[in-house]
Structure 1
Amino acid sequence: MDCWTLLELPDDADERSIKRSYAKRLKTTRPDEDAEGFQRLREAYERALQLARWREEEQERPTSRTTLASTLPTMTPANDANLRHWSQLLEIQPAVQALPITRQTDDPAQPLLLNLSRHTLPQRWQQALDLDCAPAFEAGLLRLCFEQPGLRTAITTWAVQHLQWLTPWQQVHMTPWEEEALTSGLLQQYRQTLQELLETRQEPEFLHSLETYSKQPWMQVFDRRQEWQRIVMQLLYDTQWSLPLLDRVCQLLGWDDACGVHPEPAWIWHSLIQRCEQEAFFHALQAKAQDHKTWAPEVQAAQLLLNPLSRRQQQNLILDFGVDHWVACQDLAQTLSGRYPQLIERLPCSDVFFWRKFMPRPPAAQTWIRVWAALALALTLFFLNQEDHSAMPALLFGGTIALIPTAVARLIMLLLWVPTSHQMIALDLWLSERLLPRRLNPHGEWLVLRHAVPQLAMLAVFAALLGPLGMAGYSGFILIGLLHDKRIGHLDPGFSERHPYLTALHWSHWSPLQVIFLLLMSGIILACRIHYPAYPLTRLLPG
Structure 2
Amino acid sequence: MSCWTVLGLSADADVRTIKRQYAVLLKQTRPDDDPEGFQRLRDAYEQALAYKEWQQYHEQDEEQAQDQGIEESWDLTGLTVVEVDALQLATRSLDGLSVEELNRRHTVALEQGCAHIFEDTLLHHCIEYPESSDTLVDWAVPTFFWFSAWQRLELDEESIELLLARQRTRITQPMRDALEQEDVDGFLQAYARCAQFKWLTIERHQKWFDHTLSHLLLDAPVWYPEVFERVRTDQGWHGSTGNPCPDGEWQRLLARKNAPLYLARQQQLALEPPATPEHRAARLLLGSGSFSARRALARRLSEEDWAQCRKLSSELYANHPNVCAQMPGGTAFFWQSWELSFNDWPTYVGVVLACLIGSFTHYIPLGVRFSGLINIVMLTTVAFGVVVAGLNWLVHDFAHRAWSLDDWLSARLCPAFLKDSPPFGVLRDLVPCALMVAGLSWFLGPIAGAVYAGTLGIFGLIRRRQVKPHTSWEETRTPVKICKSILGIAALAIVLGVFNQIASQGTVNRNQGLQPWTERLCSRLPITTTECSAPATVEQWYGKEARP
Name the TM-score class by shorter chain.
0.3 to 0.5
Higher CA-based Rg: 1
Which fold has the larger relative contact order, with Cα–Cα distance below 8 Å and residues 6 or more apart in sequence? 2
